A and B are shown apart, each in its own frame.
Chain A
Amino acid sequence: MSLRWRQLKESDFVYYFFRDPVAYVSFAILLVLVISAFGAPLFAPHDPYDQTTIDIMDSELPPAWKDEGTAKFLLGTDDMGRDMFSTMLYGMRISIIIGLGAVALQAFIGIIIGLLSGYIKRFDTILMRIADVQLSFSTYMIAIFIGATCQMMFGVANYEKIAAPLLILIIGLAEWPQYARTVRASVLAERKKEYVEAARVIGLSKIRIMWRHILPNTLSPVLVISTVQVANAIMSEAALSFLGLGMPQSKPSLGSLITAGFEYIFSGTWWITIFPGILLVLLILVINLLGDWVRDYLNPKLYKG
């Protein structure tokens, strides 16, 4: 274990990481955000899901530093009287869970399809045409269409009950082509190499060659797009929530909090929208910055377009 640790500590990766202030500052911020999101039940002063502690008389209180604000609610309260700070922490937890879940699903579908179409010629044309067509439609469009169809299928009330897993499914289904194309591109480069030929000569099965031999060598571009994809998935979730196709107000994500506050912005109640908005942008920004850094560091030949 200690040897592993020393290897890691002396590696180029760590060396370059600590030389780039953008990288380690973003990482530090991301770490704080993730810890506070998943530790929300510990850190949050109030529980936004507990109806008994919420008082409607507390609704739309401004942040604590304003005249009408109270120290009890640091960042003010929303239209239902929930503490903004706590609700945002819980909301960020939902956003991050959906983002990670959706990316896991995308990667799963995308890697399988990418491997198949890169290694087995027969599937290539048809699978890549499907991916091309779906990409050309833009993932937002697909996600919105699937979301709208699901809402018609289940009805609004039922949709809200299963919103979180459904959103993971929707965003996962909408964005797999990114992975499929990336994996396929590197599989095409790998399959000509000698080690693959050697594996074939030994008589290993196609599935084993794809899974155990080629896949590990295609993982670095997958890692690079994964960071950016998490940011994209969180954005898609926020967009769907904003359109009313996402998380319900009783269990808000950052996106649905912004939506809820938008109705009140004209009466000057800006904090319900602006605070979750800033948090959302900060979260996505640090993930994107880290993604850029990882891309520059690993510098794989990414599939453009």
Chain B
Amino acid sequence: MFAFTVRRIAQGLIVMVVISFIGFAIKHNFGDPVRELVGERVTPVERAQIRQQLGLNDPFLMQYGRFLNDALHGDLGRSYFFKKPVTEVIMSKAPATLELVFCASLIVIFLSIPLGIYSAIHPKNIWSRIIMSGSILGVSMPVFLTAILLIYIFSVELGWLPSFGRGETVKLFGFWNSGMLTKDGLLHLIMPSIALSSIMLPLFIRLIRSEMMEVLESEYVKYAWAKGIKAKRVWYVHAFKNTLLPVITVGGVQLGIMVAFTILTETVFQWQGMGSMFIQSVERADTALMVSYIVVVGFIFVVVNTIVDIIYGLVNPTVRVTGRK
């Protein structure tokens, strides 16, 4: 187990190095650190002087080494647009995104498990058919379109819910701007979380259903039936336990993927989080900010995947020997 953990962490580190290298290559080729520092109104002579001072004429690999060193100390450069260090900008935007992902995950977890189990237990039932056809419709619906439809129905036509922004926020611990403590903030959270969860919910329902149906066919469940155990106990205790294992592994990774969909959701709802920040940084050619978003999100992905892999290795010993799957 120890060797397995070390190997997984080492792999994660290699991936991080590759991501940072790609990020730096983008920054090196398309970014202009002098502009990030002083703006446009500087003479070419001064510009060249600053370039020399910053070490921008050094060889590529040397600059990359410096970038890595700075990144490890939490310095990813300065944002041209915000005139602040990018880590500061990202830290100020992160709570909005994390709250959104958190609420959406709650919706996914609390709806997909009962619906998935139900449609696995009664596969021919009319409700299961409705759930399954609903889920294939959900899979076919792009997340931004769901968001637009929600806005059109609930904001434009009915006028029930606010259509953009985070509403009133409260500052927690001095840095965390939370929208989850005020009524206004919660109202603003409803539609974005539904839109974000709409992409994962059908996938999870289908996953839980197919895993559960597979488990229900297995020998030990038949044995449980033969022993005369009550149906509820067989379903919810015997079968469901073994359904959870693959769901957790796939689910852990999928929750990470949600971060990708925050880019779309946040753009529609003008949610002031990391996703919309990323798209704006692309539009403003704010290279430093864009690259650090890639690095930060890459880091989140690697951490989530490594943890999921290690947990899976703990629960299922065969993986440790043969590798994943």
Contacts and interface: CB of A to CB of B under 8 A. Distances in A.
A145 B282 CA distance: 10
23 contacts: A132-B324, A138-B260, A140-B257, A141-B259, A141-B297, A141-B301, A144-B260, A148-B278, A148-B282, A245-B282, A255-B142, A265-B148, A265-B156, A266-B163, A280-B142, A284-B140, A284-B142, A285-B136, A288-B136, A288-B139, A289-B136, A305-B250, A305-B325
Contacts of A245: 282
Given A137-B301, A277-B148, A153 B136 contact: no
Contacts of B260: 137-138, 140-141, 144
A288 B29 CA distance: 40
Given A152-B282, A244-B279, A244-B283, A145 B294 contact: yes
Contacts of A151: 282
Interface of B: 11, 15, 26, 29-30, 136-137, 139-145, 148-149, 151-152, 156, 163, 246, 250, 253, 256-257, 259-261, 263-264, 267-268, 278-279, 282-283, 285, 287, 290, 294, 297-298, 301, 305, 324-325
A243 B263 contact: yes
Contacts of B268: 262
Interface on chain B toward A: helix, strand, loop, or mixed SS? helix
Nearest to A237: B142
B126 to A, nearest CB: 16
A203 interface: no
A235 interface: yes
A54 interface: no
A273 B136 contact: no
Contacts of A133: 15
Given A136-B253, A138-B260, A285 B140 contact: yes
A39 to B, nearest CB: 24
A132 B151 CA distance: 36
Nearest to B253: A136
A152 B287 contact: yes
Interface in A274-305: 274, 277, 280-281, 284-285, 288-289, 292, 303-305
Interface in A236-280: 238-239, 242-245, 255, 258, 262, 265-266, 268, 270, 273-274, 277, 280
B140 A231 contact: yes
B144 A258 contact: yes
A277 B325 contact: no
A129 interface: yes
Contacts of A273: 148, 152
A123 to B, nearest CB: 15
Given A277-B148, A281-B141, A242 B324 contact: no
A277 B149 CA distance: 9
Count chain B CB atoms within 10 A of each CB in A141, A288, A305 and give the residue with the most: A141
Nearest to A22: B133
B156 A266 contact: yes
Contact of B136 (A132, A280, A292): A292
A304 B156 CA distance: 41
Contacts of B285: 152
A224 B149 CA distance: 31
Contacts of B294: 145
A152 B30 contact: yes
Contacts of B267: 242-243
Nearest to A238: B142
Contact of B145 (A129, A244, A280, A288): A280
A289 B136 CA distance: 8
A280 B263 CA distance: 20
B159 to A, nearest CB: 12
Contact of A270 (B145, B152, B250): B152
B139 A152 contact: no
A148 B23 CA distance: 12
B140 to A, nearest CB: 4
Contacts of A149: 26, 30
B32 to A, nearest CB: 11
Contacts of A242: 142, 144, 264, 267
Contact of A153 (B30, B250, B257): B30
Contacts of A243: 263-264, 267, 279
B325 A258 contact: no
A273 B261 CA distance: 20
Given A239-B144, A281-B140, A292-B136, A129 B11 contact: yes
Contacts of B29: 153
A239 B199 CA distance: 13
A235 B146 CA distance: 13
B271 to A, nearest CB: 14
Contacts of B283: 244
Contact of A140 (B26, B136, B139, B261): B261
Nearest to B281: A148
A136 B305 contact: yes
A274 B141 contact: no
Pairs of residues from A and B, 6 with the lowest C-beta to C-beta distance, nearest first: A138-B257, A141-B260, A285-B140, A284-B140, A148-B282, A152-B30
Contact of A265 (B26, B141, B152, B246): B152
B19 to A, nearest CB: 9
Interface in A131-167: 132-133, 136-138, 140-141, 144-145, 148-149, 151-153
